[in-house]
Chains A and B, each alone.
Chain A
Amino acid sequence: MTGAEKKIKVLLAKLGLEVHWRGVITVAGMLRDAGMEVIYVGNAFPEQIVKAAIQEDVDVVGISTLGGNHLTQGGELLDIAARSGIKDSTLFLIGGVFPPYDEPRLREIGFDGIFAPGATRGEIVGFIKEAIATRATT
């Protein structure tokens, strides 16, 4: 089976103590409708997220936060992912509310995709499919 045919598996989580769930559930609905397998774990901390990602063998990890912890805990997540050896094999996405000046920094710490309010189904689904397809061919 080639990568393009395999059902894409996504782990979604609220980052740390962040409280708003509307965004992540909306994205979960979008990805499911687009034929992906979605595992939503609710609130989770970096270590738990990485552990779940390994256990579930997911292609994508998407985290959501509107609470300002995107750099601190987001950074920790990618550090642990790198140490656990899944950073390169997994697509890491972040969605939520963050100031524009933090976006380059989010990229630097290793997020592959950054989705601010207003991001559409087409953008998110398209991004995941394209990135997975690119990985499959390289």
Chain B
Amino acid sequence: MSQKKQTKEMLKKTTKEILAQKVEKEGRIPLYNPEALQKIREEMEQWKSTVVREEDRNNWYVTPSTILGSQIPRGMLYTPLDNADLDYLRDLGFSGKEPYTRAIHANLYRGRRFTIRQLAGFGGPEDTNKRIRFLLDHGATGVSIIFDLPTIQEYDSDDPMSKGQVGMCGVAIDCVDDMATLFEEVALDKVTVSLVSHYPTNTAILFPMYLEMASRRGIDWSKLTGSVQNDLILECVVRSAVEYIPPRDCFKIQCDNMEFTRKNVPGWNLVTFNGYNLRENGTSAITEMAVATANAIESLDEMVRRGHDVDWVAERIAFFWSPSNDFFEEAARIRAMRRLWYQIMKHRFDAKNPRALWMRCHVQTSGISLFREEPYNNIVRAAYQGLASVLGGAQSVHIDSYDEAYSVPTEEAALVSLRTQQIIQAETAVTEVVDPLGGSFYVEALTDEIEKRILDEVTEIEEMGGMVSAVEKGWLHKKVAKYAIEEQKSIEEGKITIVGHNYLRASDLELPEINVFRYPEGVEERQQEKLRKLRQKRDSRRVEGCLSQLREACQKGENIVPYCLEAAKADATEGELFQVFKEAFGLWKPPIYW
């Protein structure tokens, strides 16, 4: 049966049903023999009734209350009985080998240390360029760019809506020239660059600008490595905005970006299925991964529908997770997701290429878990979160800075984050051994449970008609809003304990005099002046032509990215392209949140 036909038939079934049907159940070889398990069971009963206190026996399972946690109950002690049917080779295996539970690479961090990728972005492109070079000079091995509010929301710096917000919360980028300034003297053929272009629409605008900048510098696209985010969940659910385009069109643009990037920039990750921002916005450890998985499945279905080989597309997709405070859960989650993704790629998509079977991920420690009181405590929180991610086998890490409950990090705070990662790499020896938690009775039981729960939620979404439908219906918006409200209650009621905030809070607490970041001045005027000059010097007829061709491509349903690239070449601005999208696709009103 052809891959296409087979996939079409599969669509009638949920991923869970497909896995239930295809994952072989026969011939499992349990690691523990029944006799030993029986003996352990008996001894454990004995131990429970003689050694364990009655109170502990009655409260054997406890559900940890942690920020953004999964609510999975935990036993007091884990034994082989919790992994009674573990088949070592099938369930865990070796690193770099199916089912990739242990790691995607055989030697993991011995072969390649995790990329130290710290976010940077504030002010004008010249300001952020300095921060990028500062981080690279201090040993960062990747760059990650965050854009300012107008750039994220796709308005130019001289748009009336941008007033008072240019260069805030990220870097202001309006056109190819700004991209050039942003990356001046950064070796783009050597450093991997993550463009945190959250949404499909602004990925379709900003990535072509990046590519055109590379061309102008004479860098061949085949030498470029890095990633974009390009995630409709961010555009339609996580973001609060003035103007939205409809989720269906947004999904189509997400797939256009994937297709164009795969064809033209072989070393580039064409989508980063982003759990991070959704979880930070308010959702559990499980939903974060389920939503990203459902989106990934739907996107790959669309790629197959467009006639592409799933092995070719999927080798360049990546995921992005938010590790929070429940240490073992965070490590187990990454392992669980790796195994589940492998199963999905193998059994649902019939992928053969090992790279297409890998769940590769970047993590950023949880911003919502940072508190204002005694801000240096945040260094400790972020370090544990980072460590858990490394024990889970993440490919790339960002550690949040201790001052982020106050503002964008200062250079000093950004350096502590960078150093935290380097200490994990160079001082703790945790990177010498692959998957050090593998085989722990507890971690394996947790990994199984998390995998099961993620798949359950994926099924729930599929039964609603898929991810885009779930977004259109407002299911996800409501779920997230409810979770955020409930979590705030739990913190206020002290169910979730936060040291120094609602637990052991200092009686004489005063907020410290910490050195807080100050935005550079005059950015808005500088950006506006640059735009004024640009609009004067460029060939405006060519810009008009490019924009009208783009409009036509949007209306005809063609892949729009080549047209965005032409517009970038003609020095069209971000706001001009977004205007075309709005006209072509119309505006969407997101569902009511609560």
Contacts and interface: CB of A to CB of B under 8 A. Distances in A.
Interface of A: 14, 16-22, 24-26, 28-30, 32, 40, 42-43, 45, 66-69, 72-73, 76, 97-101, 116-118, 120-122
B162 interface: yes
Interface string B318-334: 00000000000000000
A67 B164 CA distance: 11
B168 A67 contact: yes
Given A29-B485, A69-B164, A21 B153 contact: no
Interface in B143-179: 149-150, 152-153, 155, 161-165, 168-169
B376 interface: no
Nearest to B149: A17
B519 interface: yes
B164 A73 contact: yes
B527 to A, nearest CB: 14
A46 to B, nearest CB: 9
Nearest to B590: A42
A17 B282 contact: no
A97 B407 contact: yes
B492 A21 contact: no
A52 B514 CA distance: 38
A72 B164 contact: yes
Contacts of B240: 14, 18-21, 24, 42-43
A69 B373 CA distance: 23
A84 B491 CA distance: 39
B405 A117 contact: yes
B149 A118 contact: no
Given A19-B152, A22-B484, A68 B168 contact: yes
Interface of B: 149-150, 152-153, 155, 161-165, 168-169, 238-242, 280-282, 368, 371-373, 404-408, 480-481, 484-485, 488-489, 492, 501, 511, 514, 516-519, 593-594
Nearest to B405: A117
B432 to A, nearest CB: 38
B405 A97 contact: yes
Contact of B516 (A67, A73, A100): A100
A75 B164 CA distance: 10
- For B165, B282, B593, the residue with the greatest tally of chain A CB atoms inside 10 Å of its CB is B165
Contact of B169 (A21, A25, A26, A68): A68
B517 A100 contact: no
A121 to B, nearest CB: 6
B594 A28 contact: yes
Contacts of B484: 22, 25-26
B335 to A, nearest CB: 28
The main secondary structure of chain B at its interface with chain A is: loop
A25 B371 contact: no
A21 B519 CA distance: 23
Given A19-B149, A68-B407, A73 B165 contact: yes
Given A22-B484, A68-B169, A118-B372, A101 B152 contact: no
Contact of B406 (A14, A45, A97): A97
Contacts of A28: 593-594
Nearest to A120: B492
Given A16-B149, A18-B240, A42-B240, A122 B163 contact: no
Contacts of B153: 17, 19
A22 B161 contact: no
Contacts of B593: 21, 25, 28, 40
B372 to A, nearest CB: 5
B239 A19 contact: yes
5 contacts: A22-B480, A67-B149, A73-B164, A100-B406, A117-B372
Contact of A69 (B165, B280, B372): B165
A100 B492 CA distance: 22
B169 to A, nearest CB: 4
A17 B281 contact: no
A28 B310 CA distance: 44
A22 B281 contact: yes
